[in-house]
Amino acid sequence: MSTVLVVDDKPDMLETIQDYLEDAQYQVFTAPSGETALDLLTRQKVDAVITDLKMGGMGGLELVKRVKEADAQVSVLVMTAYGTVADAVTAMKLGAFDFLTKPFPMEELEMKVAQSLQLRSLQDENRLLKDELRLFQGRMVGESPAMRQVYEAVRRVSPNRTTVLVSGESGTGKELVAQAIHQSSPFKQSTFIKVNCAALAPTLLESELFGHEKGAFTGALQRKVGRFEMAHGGTFFLDEISEIPLELQVKLLRVLQERELERVGGNQTIKVDLRLIAATNRNLKEKVSQGTFREDLFYRLNVVNIHVPPLRERVEDIPLLVNHFLERFCQQMGKPPKRLSAASMKVLQAYPWPGNVRELQNLLERAVVFSDREELHVVPDPSSAPSPSLQLRGDLTNTLDEVEKALILQALDECKGVQNQAAKKLGVSRSALQYKIKKYQLEGHCREND
């Protein structure tokens, strides 16, 4: 129920408005003066204030100013007589939503209150979205609907210790999602521990996760505290969870169910309190059906699933990502700001990005390293991506022209405009290159007298 404070030095007006708005399902507070209203606002949060402009003591203009200074989100409506409309306009400049000229029908008052609260709700949603985007600044970048779903999921899951399974193709940024959950949680001051299950042999992985006692195996010269213990009170991120061996899955299940473990070679039960976030680029349901992943563990992990979309499904984010990476790499390398050519941007938006954001990041880092020009001309190298298939989207003729133009520009850029070197780099004759340079009007990118 929305709350409204009505301020007027006329008791009958206060009573009339209060009765009408309460019938309209608002919770209504009243104050006979501006001073009383401000005192009430220190003790009671309200969604909207309705105030008369001409009152004894503190006037309505001063009240509007003081209310908006205290809480800019409160909607304020002013009531005024015909002769003080100019003051009502001044009140709106101070932040009031609207004004009503006396006498007015109660239906109009109710409508304006509803409109002001609807505007406030939209402003709150917009502020929330901006907060979500700031949450990922410097980490995840994107404003596409698919990424907003990721942000919303992070916002909802972060306040508690619910287990999360982050799914998505390689290079999409699953670890960044895990870090964002941790950093936006009440436990952000605690540790964030991560382990890649595919990077360690099974015997080493067990010791890394659970720790071991001295003498537990050959080479165990002293007790080792495992990563689960290190993550106590914080967040534990298990990357590539699909690669964890079956024999360790049982021990992991115990950690999830009982919040306890034993070190390798030990019999002391150790309690742990942590949030587990797992990530996978595989279909775990398929692995369950194949018998390589425990079904009970899958359901324990899959309490909340956050799917990170591949880059090809959020093409509208590519310009944002490009600008983000170019700014970062130029700062890191101490180079002046650079921008991507329009032709190259078209090519990047048509490319399917089998290596996802990581592939785009590597491409732009290379471009910044090797180019001294302000404008960059780049194209992806399909041979360096996980999939050899280019599969460009859109009109074939235009796309191929854009790719060819971008390749020539890139070669000229890397060869400082020397056509002979650029032709060798492209594997064409100098005359063929000169023809293409004229076709695409790229003479300005060549050295004079070359």
Residue 230 lies in a domain: yes
Does the pLDDT at position 131 exceed 60?
no
Asked whether residue 365 falls in the same domain as residue 272, the answer is: no
Residue 284 lies in a domain: yes
- Could you list the residue range(s) of the whole structural domain that residue 298 is in? 145-307
Does the pLDDT at position 50 exceed 80?
yes
Question: What is the DSSP code string of 366-395?
Answer: HHHHH--SSEE-----GGGSSS------S-
Q: How far apart are CA 431 and CA 409, in angstroms?
A: 16
Residue 140 lies in a domain: no
CB 234 within 8 A of CB 193: yes
- The tokens for 85 are 């409309």
Asked whether residue 300 falls in the same domain as residue 320, the answer is: no
Query: Which pLDDT belongs to residue 103?
Result: 87
Query: Which pLDDT belongs to residue 66?
Result: 92
Residue 133 lies in a domain: no
Asked whether residue 334 falls in the same domain as residue 255, the answer is: no
H or E segment at 225?
strand 224-225
The predicted-structure confidence for 25-40, as pLDDT tens digits, reads as follows 999 999 999 999 999 9
H or E segment at 78?
strand 75-80
Asked whether residue 246 falls in the same domain as residue 380, the answer is: no
Asked whether residue 287 falls in the same domain as residue 195, the answer is: yes
Angle at 250 between CA 246 and CA 255, to 5 degrees: 135
Residue 357 lies in a domain: yes
The predicted-structure confidence for 189-237, as pLDDT tens digits, reads as follows 888 999 999 998 888 899 999 999 988 888 888 888 889 999 999 999 9
Asked whether residue 284 falls in the same domain as residue 395, the answer is: no
Q: What is the DSSP code (8-state) at residue 304?
A: E
Asked whether residue 338 falls in the same domain as residue 297, the answer is: no
Half-sphere exposure of 15 (CA within 13 A, CB side): 3
Domain total of the chain? 3
Q: Is the peptide bond before 103 cis (omega within 30 degrees of 0)?
A: yes
Query: Which pLDDT belongs to residue 412?
Result: 84
Asked whether residue 267 falls in the same domain as residue 320, the answer is: no
How far is CA 392 from each of CA 104, 156, 351, rounded to the nearest angstrom? 63, 37, 5
Does the pLDDT at position 54 exceed 50?
yes
Does the pLDDT at position 391 exceed 70?
no
Does the pLDDT at position 414 exceed 60?
yes
Residue 139 lies in a domain: no
Residue 125 neighbours by CB under 8 Å, 6+ apart: none
Asked whether residue 70 falls in the same domain as residue 218, the answer is: no
Angle at 278 between CA 296 and CA 145, to 5 degrees: 115
Query: Which pLDDT belongs to residue 449?
Result: 61
Last residue of a domain, one of 307, 327, 351: 307
State the average pLDDT over residues 409-438: 83
CATH number (domain holding residue 409): 1.10.8.60
Last residue of a domain, one of 75, 95, 126: 126
Query: Which pLDDT belongs to residue 399?
Result: 57
Residue 291 neighbours by CB under 8 Å, 6+ apart: none
Half-sphere exposure of 360 (CA within 13 A, CB side): 31
How far is CA 41 from each of CA 7, 28, 80, rounded to the nearest angstrom? 12, 13, 22
pLDDT band at residue 372 under the 50/70/90 scheme: confident
CATH number (domain holding residue 90): 3.40.50.2300
Residue 138 lies in a domain: no
The predicted-structure confidence for 60-111, as pLDDT tens digits, reads as follows 899 999 999 888 889 999 998 866 777 878 888 888 988 888 889 999 999 8
Q: What does the buried/exposed string (b/e) look like for 279-307 if buried means 16 or more CB atoms within 10 Å of the residue's CB?
A: bbbeebeebbeeeebbeebbebbeebebb
Asked whether residue 230 falls in the same domain as residue 348, the answer is: no
Asked whether residue 317 falls in the same domain as residue 297, the answer is: no
pLDDT band at residue 330 under the 50/70/90 scheme: very high
Residue 224 lies in a domain: yes
Query: Which pLDDT belongs to residue 388?
Result: 38
- The tokens for 271 are 């309690």
pLDDT band at residue 387 under the 50/70/90 scheme: very low
Residue 335: phi, psi to the nearest 5?
-105, 155
CATH number (domain holding residue 252): 3.40.50.300
* β-sheet bridge partners, residue 279: 166
pLDDT band at residue 395 under the 50/70/90 scheme: low
CB 241 within 8 A of CB 286: no
pLDDT band at residue 390 under the 50/70/90 scheme: very low
Does the pLDDT at position 309 exceed 90?
yes
Last residue of a domain, one of 249, 274, 307: 307
Residue 108 region by backbone torsions, left for phi larger than 0, else alpha for psi between -120 and 50, else beta: alpha
Asked whether residue 68 falls in the same domain as residue 191, the answer is: no
179-188, 254-263, 266-275, 439-448: the lowest-pLDDT one = 439-448
Does the pLDDT at position 392 exceed 80?
no
How far is CA 13 from each of CA 58, 64, 74, 199, rounded to the nearest angstrom? 18, 19, 22, 74
24-28, 156-160, 359-363, 413-417: the lowest-pLDDT one = 413-417
